[in-house]
A = this chain, B = another copy of it.
Amino acid sequence: MFSRMVNGIERPLDLLNASKGKEVLVQLKGDKQFVGTLVAFDIHINIVLDNAKEMENGVVKKNIGFSFVRGDTIIFISPASTSLK
């Protein structure tokens, strides 16, 4: 459970680290939204998603597949288990 992880998170990147291999919801500037498995990230918040899907109102709009997403277009990243209820 993610809510139990709070104590282990001292820096923001710790959440990304704990989310590796898990499904995340990624909100981009300009209202694009992806769901996919977080494979990798760096300090610029560039990320790699596997099985990425572009979402619109909770519905899959397009399969992007494997994808490198540039950090400066990202608004937030959220473990899907906590955000897709």
Size of the A side of the interface (Cβ < 8 Å), in residues, is 50
Interface string of A1-33 (1 = CB under 8 A from B): 011011001111111100000000100111010
Contact between chains at B74 and A39 (CB < 8 Å) = no
Check A42/B83 contact, CB under 8 A, given A68-B76, A69-B76, A78-B67.
no
A28 and chain B: residue at smallest CB distance: B75
Check A11/B29 contact, CB under 8 A, given A63-B85, A70-B74, A82-B65.
no
16 contacts between A and B (CB under 8 A): A3-B66, A6-B39, A9-B48, A12-B46, A12-B48, A12-B68, A14-B48, A29-B73, A45-B70, A52-B76, A65-B79, A67-B77, A67-B82, A67-B83, A68-B76, A70-B76
